[in-house]
Amino acid sequence: MQRGSRSTLAAATFACVAMSLSAQTPAPTKPRARDLGLPIGGAAGPLDAITDVSGVEVGHTTLISGSGKLVVGKGPIRTGVTVIHPRGKANPDPVFGAWFTLNGNGEMTGTTWLQESGVLEGPIAITNTHSVGVVRDAILQWQVGKPGMQPWGLPIVAETYDGGLNDINGFHVRPEHVISALDGAKGGPVQEGAVGGGTGMVCHGFKGGIGTASRRLPAEQGGFTVGVLVQCNYGARRDLRIAGVPVGEEIPDLQACIANHDPIPAGQGQRRPCDAPSSTRDDDDGAGSIIVVVATDAPLLPHQLKRIATRVSLGIGRMGGWGSNPSGDIFVAFSTANAGAAGGVDTVSVRMLANAKISPLFTATAQATEEAIANAMLAAETMTGANDFRVYALPVDRLKTIMKKYGR
């Protein structure tokens, strides 16, 4: 991309400040993994999204404004928050849940009680690393004001780091942004790419962000649905595999770079100008993180949901993640079955899928994770943020050519 095109990009990208994107009509211009026929395995649900699990609602607030030099507290801003209501925003009935971490260089609040109780009360939120606190307290504020919701809680809030593109130390996510995402969440198609908490994220050296996918088991395996949503900000370029194909090795160029000829700011010294010739070095080295939310309607108990959350690692491994030291790879899984049970106050009856029937859900979880990561990269557009740092989108045409080269 030439420097001359930058202002056009900015004009398009910066328009939607603090707007709940769940209320927007998504621009369906970019293909998703299934549009490209990527052979990841398994059959998706109708939306190929976490919202294929009945009741699940997703809301985003996306914050994009400013350009050029970073001024802490001013911008540029490339961040936001994404929320997931397991049973929808109007239904505070808790769900059974569990969590797992592949590499714990990150935060997910609320996991101590989730582990102890097996119960997930309230929404899940994902934001940037330095906004976990404000998002957490804002969820409590939101609950306190809603009749029928418990006026206290231990919210689940996770994060990945967007300090490359975003003025993360400006603390731009505010309580009203969180409440807007909570109230604006809905079912149906989910906006992907550089939206919500995923706005400023980088995945395998390409522009990342939010991605989603689902798998629906055949009737003879119970017909259950597994839906996954990722906030994708992890991985080295060289390690990226899609459906087993070494896509990262095939696209060593299009590395993140500084889009402006002006002197590169102090502390950015390792970054190279976009128009320098040697742009194939892989600077990123797998830093970053990935948060994965798994929803299912299969009647799984907490200890079984722990097993589900553990399988997310397998999908990440297949994409080329190693759970690198700087990465916060943290996963949460919940089941929308057993309405009324998790929040019961006496002895209740619950349905449990036998362990002997659980394996197809493991496969579905790993496959949906793979596809959600691919979808995050496919949906995102090239973005230029703080200090003119630019991260390129995964080029779809080159991806198609590479898949063909490797017989897929």
Closer to a second copy at the Cβ: 134 or 293?
134
Identify the three-state secondary structure at position 147.
coil
> Can you tell me which of 81, 138, 217, 377 binds a second copy, judged by CB under 8 A?
138
Identify the three-state secondary structure at position 191.
coil
Angle between helices 175-184 and 132-144 (to 10 degrees): 60
Tell me the CA distances in angstroms from 162 to 61, 255, 396, one per residue in order. 15, 17, 24
- What single letter denotes the amino acid at residue 171? F
Encoded tokens for 282: 């892989």
Closer to a second copy at the Cβ: 200 or 323?
323
- Taking residues 191 to 210 in sequence order and writing x for each that binds a second copy by CB under 8 A, - otherwise, the string is --------------------
Closer to a second copy at the Cβ: 111 or 382?
111
> Can you tell me which of 5, 7, 54, 112 binds a second copy, judged by CB under 8 A?
112
- Sign of torsion over alpha carbons 119, 121, 124, 128: negative
Residue 329 catalytic?
yes
Close Cβ partners of 133 (under 8 Å, ≥ 6 residues apart) = none
Classify residue 108 by its DSSP letter.
B
- What single letter denotes the amino acid at residue 391? V
Measured between alpha carbons, how far is 390 from 399 in angstroms, rounded to an integer? Answer: 20
Closer to a second copy at the Cβ: 108 or 257?
108
Compute the least distance from the CB of residue 80 to a second copy, in Å. 16
Compute the least distance from the CB of residue 138 to a second copy, in Å. 8
Residue 54 catalytic?
no
Measured between alpha carbons, how far is 246 from 77 in angstroms, rounded to an integer? Answer: 33
The residue from 131, 214, 289, 335 that is catalytic is: 289
Find the binding residues for a second copy in span 321-340 (CB under 8 A): 321-326, 328, 330
Compute the least distance from the CB of residue 182 to a second copy, in Å. 15
The residue from 48, 167, 329, 388 that is catalytic is: 329
**Residue indicated by tokens 């939607």:** 16
Compute the least distance from the CB of residue 383 to a second copy, in Å. 20
Encoded tokens for 339: 């309405």
Q: Is 31 in the site for a second copy (CB under 8 A)?
A: no
CA 111 to chain centre: 18
Q: Is 352 in the site for a second copy (CB under 8 A)?
A: yes
Strand partners, 125: 83, 157
Tell me the CA distances in angstroms from 227 to 187, 315, 368, 392, one per residue in order. 12, 13, 7, 27
Q: Is 23 in the site for a second copy (CB under 8 A)?
A: no
Closer to a second copy at the Cβ: 45 or 302?
302
Q: Is 265 in the site for a second copy (CB under 8 A)?
A: no
Q: Is 220 in the site for a second copy (CB under 8 A)?
A: no
Taking residue 268's Cβ as centre, other Cβ atoms within 10 Å add up to 16
> Can you tell me which of 113, 252, 279, 396 binds a second copy, judged by CB under 8 A?
113
Candidates 130-138, 182-190, 207-215, 393-401; binding stretch for a second copy (CB under 8 A): 130-138
Closer to a second copy at the Cβ: 45 or 360?
360
Q: Is 353 in the site for a second copy (CB under 8 A)?
A: yes
Q: Is 117 in the site for a second copy (CB under 8 A)?
A: yes
Find the binding residues for a second copy in span 149-188 (CB under 8 A): 151-152, 154, 157, 161, 163, 168-169, 171
Find the binding residues for a second copy in span 227-246 (CB under 8 A): 239, 241, 243-246
Angle, alpha carbons 160-11-174 (nearest 5°):
40
Candidates 12-20, 28-36, 81-89, 310-318; binding stretch for a second copy (CB under 8 A): 310-318
Close Cβ partners of 191 (under 8 Å, ≥ 6 residues apart) = 21, 22, 24, 26, 60, 210
Find the binding residues for a second copy in span 279-298 (CB under 8 A): 285-286
Residue 313 catalytic?
no
Find the binding residues for a second copy in span 53-92 (CB under 8 A): 72
> Can you tell me which of 102, 240, 274, 378 binds a second copy, judged by CB under 8 A?
102
Close Cβ partners of 246 (under 8 Å, ≥ 6 residues apart) = 240, 406
Tell me which residues are annotated as active site. 289, 327, 329
